[in-house]
Amino acid sequence: MDVRELKIAGAFHFVPQNFADARGHLASPYQEAAFKEATGHTLFPIRQTNHSQSRRGVARGVHFTTTPPGMAKYVHCSQGSTLDMVVDVRVGSPTFGQWESIVLNAEHPSGIYLPVGVGHAFVALEDTVITYLLSEGYKAENEKAVSVLDPPLGLPVSDDENLILSERDRVAPTLAEAAELGLLPDYETSLRVERSLYEKYEKGADA
């Protein structure tokens, strides 16, 4: 497993070896040992898994969770391919407003870890399925969004007639507007929530 920390502190890209033959291929986008070595956490605390299917041209995000309660995510592409974006929306973070994009695809599977408080977006480059491991159960009232089309944010997403957005994502505030409204996670709070999350989970795993 090759592991690279993204420029968003605490976010990582995990690239496993891909075993291919005439039948197809096998890869393990999440591996406990690699996750522990990269993050210092024993294992990812899975509370829920999501299967998200998107047509070609669908854009989702930038989505994040109110913190607290906060949510960490581990995502990989199970079908098709996507331009995946990790966005630092944590107020007070040294990389606030910065982002990194990675193409995820099912032919060469890899995983991205998004720590608590970090935003996530993607554009489906073809019909695509994204699999999410989530550290908390989904609650609609805790889920927020920043516009994926926010010009100052500058994500590699163009607003053309072929882009498919939900109404929620279409009317989402810009990063600056979300900050002014007090919607964004705080950096220090996000770090504290993440530490607490893993401490509680690891104590439970050892019980």
Q: Is 132 a catalytic residue?
A: yes
Residues contacting 135, CB < 8 A, separation 6+: 44, 45, 46, 47, 71, 72, 73, 116, 197, 201
Which tokens hold the place of 88? 């630092």
Please tell me which residue in 13, 41, 63, 76 is annotated as part of the active site: 63
- 173 to 8, 18, 141, 149, 177: CA distances (angstroms): 22, 40, 16, 10, 6
25, 78 contact by CB (below 8 A): no
Q: Give residue 96's identity as a one-letter amino acid code.
A: F
Q: Is 25 a catalytic residue?
A: no
Best CA proximity match to 82, nearest among 127, 118, 50, 51: 127
Q: Note if the bond before 151 is cis, omega within 30 degrees.
A: no
Please tell me which residue in 30, 113, 132, 198 is annotated as part of the active site: 132
Query: Could you tell me which residues are beta bridge partners of residue 73?
Result: 114, 134
Residues involved in catalysis: 63, 132
